[in-house]
Structure 1
């Protein structure tokens, strides 16, 4: 079997839509890490820009609302999901985006990046691992988390980038390995989950 050496299409999902959210600061930092790599081609889905239906009725209106984000998720080889922690879990807007899609996540890797207070969003990450397992997605082992995130950045730049930079490299290396492996698997035989 010939190996596909094309860069992976990775979609960064920004998982909060709250007014005044800190997510775009972390997302900009993440996008720089993604763009620095020759093996990744990034795209962004921001839940603040996605008008998801508020009911799970499969209507024409719901289909129209989903049409823009569904191709972006479907065409991705891999995902990086950025989440804050709200009430020991991840935001409702992110859950809504995840729940409106199923096959788009299947047999694809998901890297998780979190931010928050003292926990750094790690409880949200653990909940997301359970959700993505149910959707037949593979979460990579290593994550990047920002504890007391607001104090970690000044004017959009990390005060001490050494730890997060190293963590991001490990996480993205794992994402690329899983992304290539699963892309080859999906190409050689359809996923039957």
Structure 2
């Protein structure tokens, strides 16, 4: 499937696919919230997707991992459990992803299983791809399916607001969402047929 009309057919007769968009940076002065808004603006045109944004900067997570989960930890894990697919928006810090994102990922376990994960990464030069490669290992451990295609933004050469790269970026968003939908509905059906063995 390569366009929005064809992509929508995957969900015909089914409830919209519940997709959680996770904004991973909590750094002051970050651009992650702008990148998240940019992506969600493009994803919302897909009527077959039901989007919820989980901005980690809006959660008050503990500095030290507590013996019992806090209300905010439980809220985040519950949102992960309700979602059927994920898009992680991540910067690249020193060739990896933010500690805030790893902390949040570790608050859930079973809730991630048998669901697809796509990535929107950004950076200067590498487009955040080093962060994505490390996240693939983490999400493989959590029994997810990570998408081959993602959206990679290189702000060294093309700022987010630069129109020159908009066609290629929009095409990358469409392709990733096509694949996310395919896996999301396929895995929804598979979970309904038989329980997953982990």
TM over 0.5: yes
> What's 2:194 paired with?
189
1:151 Cα deviation from its structure 2 partner: 4.5
Question: What does 1:1-193 correspond to in 2, within 5 Å?
Answer: 5-59=14-68, 62-148=69-155, 151-154=158-161, 158-193=163-198
1:75 Cα deviation from its structure 2 partner: 0.3
Distance verdict in 2 for CA 1:150–1:58, change over 3 Å: farther
Q: How many correspondences in the alignment?
A: 187
Q: CA-to-partner distance for each residue in 1:128-158, whole Å, 9 max, x for gaps?
A: 000000000110110101012695223xx75
Given that 2:158 and 2:165 are in contact with CA atoms closer than 8 Å, whether structure 1 keeps it comes out as no
Structure 2: runs of 5+ lacking an equivalent: 1-11
Rounded to whole Å, the distance in 2 between the matches of 1:101 and 1:42 is 19
C-alpha RMSD of matched pairs (Å)? 1.7
3-state SS, counterpart of residue 36 of structure 2: helix
TM-score under structure 1 length normalisation: 0.91
Rounded to whole Å, the distance in 2 between the matches of 1:127 and 1:149 is 21
Rounded to whole Å, the distance in 1 between the matches of 2:62 and 2:20 is 21
Distance verdict in 2 for CA 1:188–1:4, change over 3 Å: farther
Given that 2:121 and 2:129 are in contact with CA atoms closer than 8 Å, whether structure 1 keeps it comes out as yes
1:34 Cα deviation from its structure 2 partner: 1.6
